[in-house]
A and B are shown apart, each in its own frame.
Chain A
Amino acid sequence: MTPDIPGALSIEFDNYVGSQPMQLDPVGSTDYRYITGSGQEFNLSTFRYYISNIKLEGPDGASFEDEMNASANADEVRGYYLVQEGESSSYFIDLDDVPTGQYNRITFTLGIPEEGVQEGAAGGILDPAEGAWFWTWNSGYIGLGMEGTAADSPQERVERDGFVTEANTFALHVGGWKEVEGNDNMVDNTRTVTLDFGDVVTVGQDVKPKVHVVFDMLEILDGAGIDFSQTFQVHAPRAAIPMADEIPEAFTVDHVHQ
């Protein structure tokens, strides 16, 4: 085993709502595909999250840390990934330059932590003009965004300057990266997720293993006890804390392919 010959490993993110594969509906649709643990019907129109700081570890000491660069040049952005439901190419993260060896564990951050914000304006998936979700009044990226319609959401239809918020919709945005001393509300809602493969894969020449990661949105909603009649608009760090706390529970490694 020569650890300095780089190999590759691929991660696939597969989003579910409970046992159902995630599927999107048009904004405002009242076709409710999903139901929460407490019996509230809902659907999803947008679902996305950022992944960063990927690390791999192995039982024999092999390790890999993804290169990070929040560059203005979109072609030079490294280590930040946007998984967006409906865009199948975004489900796959290919890690190159992984040292040859055996691996059985992955760690990543859900969200864009301080380093990704405080390096200043960045391009590609971090560019708000290209679709990045960025809070302008409280600088930072929305790490996990869930939008859809729920039968119990009391959201009224609002039309302002041609922008329409449809009735019964919800928008749950989990963001916030900075902590302020003495303030329990000003929180870092990025979360570190560590997953065991349940198996050992080998990275080597001509061997590119694949790790199949499943995300279950019901873990977030049910774990945080989301009641759409009360919680249907979340756009600030404090209210998102209960959902952020469930993030590590929502991911599992379903299986690995050698």
Chain B
Amino acid sequence: MYISRLAGLVSQWASSMLLAAGFLILFACQSGDAEDVLDTRYRFEKPANFPEPTYTFENNPVTPQGFQLGRRLFFDPILSRDGSVACSNCHQQGLAFADGPQHPFSVGVDNRFGIRNAPPLANLAFKQEFFWDGGVTHLDFVPTNAIENELEMDESLANVVDKLNQHVEYPTLFKQAFGVDTITSPYLLHAFSQFMVMMVSANSRYDKYVRNEGETLTEGELKGMQLFEAKCGACHSGELFSDFSFRNNGISTTFSDEGRARVTEHPLDVGKFRVPSLRNVARTAPYMHNARFKTLEKVLEHYASGVQESPTLDPLLKDETQLGIPMTDEEQTLIITFLETLTDYEFVADERFRNTSQ
């Protein structure tokens, strides 16, 4: 009897405390409490017009500490053999995390040239395969490829882990993010992924238009959108503007870089590269895996009149009478006008992705 009465009292006390906590939360929201803002900033949210994410969040939930650690690592050349190359060398925020026109191919340690143009980084939580050849099948394993490639960072994952364990600050940061006393590679890769999955680019004028957020597109942009869907939409489909297939788009007749065939070893895959997303495309020049075209005008001109025949040329780029996609000069200009609406200025200026360690 006594016990149950006490239990009742405790439960009454608990609910009044909950009520008090409720008021506190309400108050915090109203006053824009700093911690509350922080939580929202580091929460992954799928944009309304996007497909479901593919990333395994259940194994690696994003936390402020994990995200910030990933950000610090992204900008830290400690990853490379001689401390000269960071991820940010070839993935610059102002360029939607692509490399600039001055580096058509990635530049690695000892100024070694890579073999391909560094792709922009955005919306990585929604992709199933990575790199121009799609050889990497999970976001966690993407940094390993850059770290161990001899033309890029030329370092072993084991050495990076050793260097981080001997560092004055990293062991504490990993402890805070993951509760671990010793840094191991899966936590390093999880920190990177926490930073990268948050790189969601979904606030271009186009997005705000399709989500009915009060944005309007001009007559030219809308015409360009219709033309884009008719001329380009078969491959650059969906809200990520790619079907993520591998195709030979006719930029050459021979391929010293075999592309998808480097992974699949299949002759029918020679010269095929992944169809890239076109988000922020106006900021990611030069274009194609080999940085072949310096401007969007050159890209459109290629599809209209420059497509070259080879055994694996994509069937969508040829019929009985001609190669390429028939487009007038005016149509090409309108399509580019539309592509410019895909630039997400909030993303390229988002201070969450800036280097805060300098």
Which residue numbers of A lie inside 8 Å of B, CB to CB?
71-74, 117-123, 126-130, 134, 136-140, 161, 178, 180, 183-186, 236-238
A62: min CB distance to chain B, Å: 32
Closest 10 pairs between A and B when the two form their complex, measured CB to CB: A72-B186, A121-B186, A121-B189, A129-B185, A120-B140, A121-B140, A129-B158, A129-B157, A138-B135, A129-B161
Q: Which of A127, A136, A161, A186 contacts B184 (CB 8 A)?
A: A127
Q: Is the interface of A mostly helix, strand, loop or mixed?
A: loop
A78: min CB distance to chain B, Å: 14
A139 vs B129: C-alpha distance when bound (angstroms): 10
State whether A123 and B184 are in contact (beta carbons under 8 Å apart), knowing that A72-B59, A138-B263 are contacts in the complex.
yes
A131: min CB distance to chain B, Å: 8
Would B138 and A120 count as touching, CB distance under 8 A?
yes
Would A72 and B141 count as touching, CB distance under 8 A?
no
A128 vs B56: C-alpha distance when bound (angstroms): 19
Q: B243 near A: Cβ within 8 Å?
A: no
Q: B88 near A: Cβ within 8 Å?
A: no
Would B265 and A120 count as touching, CB distance under 8 A?
no
Q: Which of B138, B150, B185, B193 contacts A128 (CB 8 A)?
A: B185
Would A136 and B185 count as touching, CB distance under 8 A?
no
A73 vs B265: C-alpha distance when bound (angstroms): 35
A210 vs B130: C-alpha distance when bound (angstroms): 44
Would A137 and B138 count as touching, CB distance under 8 A?
no
B192: min CB distance to chain A, Å: 9
Would A183 and B138 count as touching, CB distance under 8 A?
no
B200: min CB distance to chain A, Å: 19
- What are 15 A-B contacts with C-beta separation under 8 Å? A72-B190, A118-B56, A120-B56, A120-B138, A121-B190, A121-B193, A122-B186, A128-B144, A129-B157, A130-B158, A136-B136, A136-B148, A137-B145, A139-B135, A186-B263
A72 vs B186: C-alpha distance when bound (angstroms): 5
Would B264 and A186 count as touching, CB distance under 8 A?
yes
Would A183 and B137 count as touching, CB distance under 8 A?
no
Most buried by A among B149, B263, B266: B263
Which B residues lie within 8 Å of A185 (CB)? 264-266
List which B306-326 residues lie within 8 A (CB) of chain A: none
State whether A137 and B135 are in contact (beta carbons under 8 Å apart), knowing that A72-B190, A123-B186, A128-B185 are contacts in the complex.
yes
Would A120 and B59 count as touching, CB distance under 8 A?
yes
- Quick one: CB contact mask for B252-265 with A, threshold 8 Å, 1 for yes? 00000000001111
Would A128 and B157 count as touching, CB distance under 8 A?
yes
Q: Which of A72, A123, A129, A236 contacts B60 (CB 8 A)?
A: A72
Which B residues lie within 8 Å of A184 (CB)? 266
Beyond contacts A120-B56, A122-B186: 9 other A-B pairs, Cβ-Cβ < 8 A, are A120-B60, A121-B187, A127-B184, A127-B185, A129-B161, A139-B135, A161-B154, A185-B265, A236-B265
**Interface size of B in residues (CB-CB distance below 8 Å):** 38
A84: min CB distance to chain B, Å: 16
Which residue numbers of B lie inside 8 Å of A, CB to CB?
56, 59-60, 133, 135-141, 144-145, 148-150, 154, 156-158, 160-161, 178, 180, 184-187, 189-190, 193, 262-266, 268-269
Most buried by B among A139, A140, A161, A238: A139
Q: Which of B139, B149, B262 contacts A120 (CB 8 A)?
A: B139
Which A residues lie within 8 Å of B178 (CB)? 72
Which B residues lie within 8 Å of A183 (CB)? 264, 266, 268-269
Would A72 and B187 count as touching, CB distance under 8 A?
yes
Which B residues lie within 8 Å of A118 (CB)? 56, 137-138
Most buried by B among A71, A123, A129, A137: A129
State whether A120 and B135 are in contact (beta carbons under 8 Å apart), knowing that A128-B157, A136-B141 are contacts in the complex.
no
A126 vs B145: C-alpha distance when bound (angstroms): 16
Which B residues lie within 8 Å of A127 (CB)? 184-186
A112: min CB distance to chain B, Å: 13
Q: Which of B56, B150, B189 contacts A119 (CB 8 A)?
A: B56
Which A residues lie within 8 Å of B263 (CB)? 137-138, 186
Q: Look across to chain A and name the residue whose beta carbon is closest to the beta carbon of B192.
A: A121
Q: Look across to chain A and name the residue whose beta carbon is closest to the beta carbon of B150.
A: A161
Which B residues lie within 8 Å of A180 (CB)? 264
Would A139 and B157 count as touching, CB distance under 8 A?
no
Would B193 and A120 count as touching, CB distance under 8 A?
yes
A235: min CB distance to chain B, Å: 11
Which B residues lie within 8 Å of A120 (CB)? 56, 59-60, 138-141, 186, 189-190, 193
A138 vs B262: C-alpha distance when bound (angstroms): 9
B107: min CB distance to chain A, Å: 18
Q: Look across to chain A and name the residue whose beta carbon is closest to the beta carbon of B189.
A: A121
Which A residues lie within 8 Å of B180 (CB)? 73
Which B residues lie within 8 Å of A74 (CB)? 184
Would A134 and B144 count as touching, CB distance under 8 A?
yes
Q: Look across to chain A and name the residue whose beta carbon is closest to the beta carbon of B267.
A: A185
A117 vs B140: C-alpha distance when bound (angstroms): 10
Which B residues lie within 8 Å of A136 (CB)? 136, 141, 144-145, 148-149
B104: min CB distance to chain A, Å: 21
A121 vs B194: C-alpha distance when bound (angstroms): 12
A125 vs B178: C-alpha distance when bound (angstroms): 19
Q: Look across to chain B and name the residue whose beta carbon is closest to the beta carbon of A120.
A: B140
Which B residues lie within 8 Å of A122 (CB)? 186
Which B residues lie within 8 Å of A126 (CB)? 186
A71 vs B144: C-alpha distance when bound (angstroms): 18
